[in-house]
Amino acid sequence: MTLTFLKDLQSRKLPPVIPEGITAAQWPAYREQLLALFSREEYGFTPPPPENLRAKTIMSNKQAWADKAEQRDITLTFGTPGGEFSFPVTFVLPKSEKPLPLIVYISFEPFPCGKYGPIEEIVDSGYALAVFFTTT
């Protein structure tokens, strides 16, 4: 199976990730070409930030998740060419004096894996969490 996969991959004539003979001086320009390729073909481009972004706090609990974090339920609203758009976001912010890295999780419900996701473990590991989700 591995040999079949390798032959199939080679038949596609994909460019090498790092071309043979590239120098350190050439790398920054080549890196920009790769980023443009992935943006165009795979991931898309980041749109500009929306104008008139508004946040409305719906709920705030400063003793959430075994009193290790603050949980904030917020509605974000901004204008689009098709009209206003709003969506709910839940933030879980560990109690910390320093800025923490933030995990952004896209979900179909307010929490990853429902109410039983690894939220406390994420907080214990020193990460903040933002979950945005669709509503019906």
Tens digits of per-residue pLDDT, 48-81? 888 889 999 999 999 998 999 999 999 999 988 8
For residue 114, the model assigns a pLDDT of 62
Q: pTM to 2 decimals?
A: 0.64
List, as one string, the DSSP characters of 7-71. HHHHHTTPPPSS-TT--TTTHHHHHHHHHHHHIIIII--PPPPPSS-EEEEEEEEEEHHHHTEEE
